[in-house]
Amino acid sequence: MSHLSNPLATAEQLFKSANNPLPIELLDSIRFYTARLTQAAGILLCLPQDITAQANVLLFRYWLVDDVMRHEFSDLSAAVVYLTAKISASPRSLRSITNVYAYLLSESSALSGTPVPEPDPQSYYLSEGTYVTRRNKLLHIEGQILNALGFNTHVALPHPLAITYLQTMDVFISPRTGKAVAKRAIEYLNAALLSPQMLYLTHQPASLATAAIYLAARDKGVKLPDCEWWEVSDVREVVNKQEGISNGDGEKEDEEAEMSRMLDEKVVD
């Protein structure tokens, strides 16, 4: 079942990430806007959503290991999109990727934050020399990402699990209602990819899928089984695996308690 699970962030990694000298608001903004840029690039490159989602997960994993400010955010986003697409069934050329990012970072892009003017091709034109420079930079960053991740690029997504769980609970007996719940659940899962809270690094796909189903069913007013249906998804097992961490005094604590203790120790120091 390892193909249905992901390596999760450790308490030490989360503590190191939270202990960055940059203000937490700035860190959250960098993570959100880089993830949004990655998502926009995936759309313009006509990549399947699962590849774009995997790219964002790898992006956040990399930031657990390396400094957020080590690489320019757009270069890092482009490199992780290239890497993720390359190892998939839908690879994209470096020229296509650099052209897309040149457009997304230009004033002609809807991401510029200003009213979109009449597109000006000159604002996102790449000369051959500029392309070669950016290509070499992206290849270098790709190597840095692989090295930081230990060449482990496996990403299990909760989206297929959410659909499977809904089918198991016969939510699709009513096609209209079933599609509405499934659509909302997928929307929640896609929104979680942009979350600065790094939900895909702290929760397994089964947990994310069941949470998305619960929220989607509540939004659409759909009644789910009265039994503890989430246990079928091994969600309780996931929770149990996060318990039993020693706090140094022979007692056990969950990861949230451990993080609180480590932050308290930092304040004392």
> Could you give the CA distance from residue 52 to residue 85 in angstroms, rounded to a whole number?
8
Statement: residue 259 has pLDDT above 70: no
* Nearest partner of 55 among 209, 186, 210, 194, judged by Cα: 194
Cα-based distances in Å from 83 to 6, 47, 224, 258: 18, 13, 39, 34
Give CATH superfamily name and number for 9-148.
Answer: Cyclin-like (1.10.472.10)
* Nearest partner of 152 among 56, 68, 84, judged by Cα: 84
Statement: residue 183 has pLDDT above 70: yes
* Domain range list for the chain: 9-148, 159-233
The predicted-structure confidence for 190-232, as pLDDT tens digits, reads as follows: 999 998 889 999 999 999 999 999 999 999 988 888 777 877 6
* Nearest partner of 161 among 58, 226, 223, 230, judged by Cα: 230
> Could you give the CA distance from residue 214 to residue 220 in angstroms, rounded to a whole number?
10
pLDDT confidence of residue 244: 37
CB 241 within 8 A of CB 255: no
**Mean pLDDT for the chain overall:** 85
The predicted-structure confidence for 68-126, as pLDDT tens digits, reads as follows: 889 999 999 999 999 999 999 999 999 999 999 999 998 878 776 666 667 777 778 89
> Could you give the CA distance from residue 91 to residue 219 in angstroms, rounded to a whole number?
37
Close Cβ partners of 138 (under 8 Å, ≥ 6 residues apart):
75, 78, 79, 82, 94, 97, 98
17: part of which helix (H) or strand (E)? helix 11-18
The per-residue DSSP string of 162-217 comes to: HHHHHHHTTGGGSHHHHHHHHHHHHHHHHHHHT-TT-HHHHS-HHHHHHHHHHHHH
Is pLDDT larger for residue 264 or for residue 77?
Answer: 77
pLDDT confidence of residue 115: 65
Statement: residue 257 has pLDDT above 50: yes
pLDDT confidence of residue 236: 63
Q: What percent of the chain has pLDDT over 90?
A: 59
